[in-house]
Amino acid sequence: MTGSQILLQLNYWLIIIVMMMGFYVVLTHENMIKKLIGLGVFQTSVYFLYIVPGKVIGGTAPIIASGYQVYSNPLPHVLILTAIVVGVATLALGLALVIRINEAYGTIEEDDLYGRGEWHQ
């Protein structure tokens, strides 16, 4: 592909930018809730990764109608519904853990946490 064609794949650029932003937040931030938010952004970019190629060029909505031969792919939407639910469950569990950690330690910053517990026992 030529350089200008690569630059025009705006959808895929967006996917990569959002993915790396989310991943960066997970890796660098110390606050536990911010990590969970970064994880959510990271997972959202993956939803894009499935749905964007699902649209077939020249395809119509995937409902059988006379006169149309090319349909868009309905499967990625189903897969992403499942992935969204999994993401919500992970977020809920993560937040519940953060609440308990806050009650147990009094802080949700990871570098403060490592000073307060008995880690090398």
Partner 1 sequence: MASIAPHFSVLCVVIPLFGALLCAIIRNSRAAWLLAVCSALCSFLCAIFLLIHVKNGVVSYAIGGWQPPIGIEYRVDSFNAYVLALISAVGCLSILYAHNAISEVSPQNRSWYFSMMLLCLTGVMGMAATGDAFNLFVFMEIAALSSYVLIALGKQREALVAAYQYLIVGTIGATFYIIGIGFLYVSTGTLNIADLALRITPIKTTIPVLTGIGFLITGLSIKAAIFPLHAWLPNAYRFAPVPASALLSGTATKVALYILLRFIFGVLGAQFLLGTFGFYEVMVTFSLGAILCGSIVAVFQKNLRRMLAYSSVAQVGYITLGVALANENGLTGSLIHIVGHGITKAGLFFVAGSLLARLGSDHIADLAGAGRRMPWTVGSFIVLSLSMVGLPGTVGFLGKWYIAFAAVEHGSWWLAIIVIITSLFALIYMGRFIEMAYFSSRNEEKMKFLANPMSWNMGLSVAIVTGLCVWLGIDTEVLIDKARAAALLLMGANL
Partner 2 sequence: MKQNPIIRIIVKLLVPFIVLFALYVQLHGDLGPGGGFQAGVIMAGVVVIYSLIFGSTAAEKLISFSIIRSLIPIGVLIYVGVGLFSLIKGNNYLDYSALHAEAAVGQHMGIFVVELAVFVTVFATMTAIFYAFVERQRQNEEDPE
Q: Is 16 in the site for partner 2 (CB under 8 A)?
A: no
One-letter amino acid for residue 21 of the chain: M
Question: Among residues 50, 59, 62, 72, which is the contact residue for partner 1, using CB under 8 A?
Answer: 50
DSSP letter for each residue of 36-60: HHHHHHHHHHHHHHHHGGGSPTT-B
Least gap, CB of 59 to partner 2 (angstroms) = 21
Q: Is 37 in the site for partner 1 (CB under 8 A)?
A: no
Least gap, CB of 105 to partner 1 (angstroms) = 7
Question: Among residues 21, 92, 97, 104, which is the contact residue for partner 2, using CB under 8 A?
Answer: 92
Number of residues that bind partner 2 (CB under 8 A): 4
Dihedral Cα 64, 66, 68, 74, nearest 10 deg: 0
